Amino acid sequence: MTDLTSFSAAELAGLVARGESSAVEVTQAHLDRISAVDDRVHAFLHVDTEGALDAAREVDSRRAAGEPLGPLAGVPVAVKDVLTTKGIPTTAGSKILADWRPPYDSTIVRRLRAAGTVMLGKTNMDEFAMGSSTEYSAFGPTHNPWDLSRIPGGSGGGSSAALAAYETPLSIGSDTGGSIRQPGAVTGTVGVKPTYGGTSRYGLIAFSSSLDTPGPCARTVLDAALLHEAIGGHDPLDSTSIPAPVPDVVAAARLGASGDLTGVRLGVVREFAGEGAEPGVLAAFRAAVETLTKLGAEVVEVSCPHFQYALPAYYLIAPSECSSNLARFDGVRFGLRVGDDGTRSLEEVMSATREAGFGPEVKRRVMLGTYALSSGYYDAYYGQAQKVRTLISRDFTTAFDQVDALISPTTPFVAFPVGARTADPYQMYLADLFTIPSNLYGGPGISVPCGLADGLPVGLQVMAPTMADDRMYRVAAALESAVGPFTPPAL
């Protein structure tokens, strides 16, 4: 029998729906793959073997009873360990939440279950989603299946590595400054940041509340669109959720797969044309632009002059919000509790808990954000950063008056070796140089593989206006149809 882990999610759903394979067979094949390779990749923090097989049996029972199945029924999915899962460990990659089992499912997980997908388990991540390499996980780094000595991106490197290692056909990530798209780029997979508010944050452990966006990860654009359709839409439990339906991203992906972009006008961001990008990345991007032109797209250069300030603005806004959000981890309400021997004050227990529970990158950002919000500095730092955010949003608005979507490299460089940048936070932060503007604006972005540099994947990013997620799917699918998939070496 053909290896079921080699199929796309859409293909697997078809096999299950037609009875050519059972959901249990599909699930067991992926569980076996995890057992075979994850000791080297370390994409998963928790594998829910029994829960996955129970969910698969339920799908098979529904099919046997003649019940209609959804477009992803019986398809395995892995979930970034930042989304709450009832009764299943949810750690956010941090010691401070080690072994915490939430009493409820996040909206994203609840919708995955309703769609009939089979949750395999929880994937590794940089602690509290703060990082660009998945080296800041309290439970050890994840490795890139293209080269196990290299990083898989971050913060959602576990979700992207699990895809590239064929441990799962679908996964869920969260994107605060590029944490879905950048891992997608460096692992040769597809990563999507939906419009902010287009997917629910209920049950997402907050890093930066005005930026965090859950989204789909997959090996094909169509699979990502199908997953996006399943998890998106208005959620009354999330006050920032947009009360509007998800654009028809599946139809857009199917349209794009025809390879015709006639009438589509794309803008290359001038400020990102060469800033800090490796030569191999630029060469792959330029070749992809030529391909998009051959497919019928009109490609022009567009200036977004304030994008150059996105990185410093982000590293004031996001840490400021995280310093507020992480105040709840105090050793009292849930999670780790250290130093409570009956002789210490509450403040001493809180301090000991945070010292033991938070890693160095989390501490760095909390201190930076607390300083930026402090009396006498708020206007000079946080206030100014918010003004820059407004200017960046205006750049997007002006650009979208001229073009349908913007394109750029997803990240300035290919996957770097594990340990190469941990001693230099600024060099690590540069991984998100091209992705951060979309988060500050709130619009959608997708990374799709566009080529190789030095034998490693390069991603092209498509950015669209808010609630125009379908535009980016069409462009990404068209490019994918022209350049084909990129398969990592066998593990």
Q: Is residue 393 among the annotated active site residues?
A: no
Strand-strand pairing, 190-193 and 445-453: antiparallel
Annotated catalytic residue within 155, 171, 200, 447: 155
Annotated catalytic residue within 8, 132, 159, 179: 179
Q: Supply φ then ψ for residue 276, to 5 degrees.
A: 70, 5
Rounded Cα gap, residues 441 and 269, in angstroms: 15
Rounded Cα gap, residues 254 and 231, in angstroms: 19
Question: What H or E segment, with its residue span, contains residue 324?
Answer: helix 310-325
Rounded Cα gap, residues 82 and 275, in angstroms: 32
Terminal-residue alpha carbon distance, the chain? 20
Q: Is residue 61 among the annotated active site residues?
A: no
Task: Please list, in sequence order, all residues whose beta carbon lies within 8 angstroms of the beta carbon of residue 5, skipping any fewer than 6 positions away.
Answer: 29, 30, 33, 166, 167, 169
Rounded Cα gap, residues 465 and 401, in angstroms: 10
Please give the structure tokens belonging to residue 225: 């669109």
Residue 409 φ/ψ region, left for φ over 0, alpha for ψ in the -120 to 50 degree band, beta for the rest: beta
Please give the structure tokens belonging to residue 243: 């009360």
**SS3 at position 442:** coil
Please give the structure tokens belonging to residue 211: 């930026």
Q: Is residue 133 among the annotated active site residues?
A: no
Annotated catalytic residue within 21, 80, 106, 323: 80
Rounded Cα gap, residues 172 and 367, in angstroms: 29
**Residues taking part in catalysis:** 80, 155, 179
